[in-house]
Amino acid sequence: MIVKSSTSQLPPLKSAKVLDQLRERIRYLNYSIRTEETYVYWVRAFIRFHRLRHPATMDGADVEALLSWLVSSRNVAASTHKQALSA
């Protein structure tokens, strides 16, 4: 699998909504449909966890807050934790 590392080579996004932009980018990168579904699930969970704030207004501390909550409150497995982080 060839991974495109530079975002400057990616075409501009056409969609206005965050989850649609995510789907558009994932499809451009030829990820599997299952990966797309999983990433959309975790990004939606991230947005809902932070009371519908736009992801552009959040930073690494907000990501850490979600991941910490998954471990402390939901007792998720390490693989689930990694999946949420990747998304």
Candidates 1.10.150.130, 3.60.20.10, 1.20.1250.20, 1.10.357.10; correct CATH number of 16-86? 1.10.150.130
pLDDT tens-digit map of 23-80:
999 999 999 999 999 999 999 999 999 999 999 999 999 999 999 999 999 988 999 9
Look at residue 8 and tell me whether its pLDDT is greater than 90: no
Q: Please report, for the chain, the start and end positions of each structural domain, with discontinuous segments joined by +.
A: 16-86
pTM metric for this prediction: 0.81
CA distances from 46 to 31, 37, 86 (A): 21, 14, 12
Q: Which amino acid is at 34?
A: R
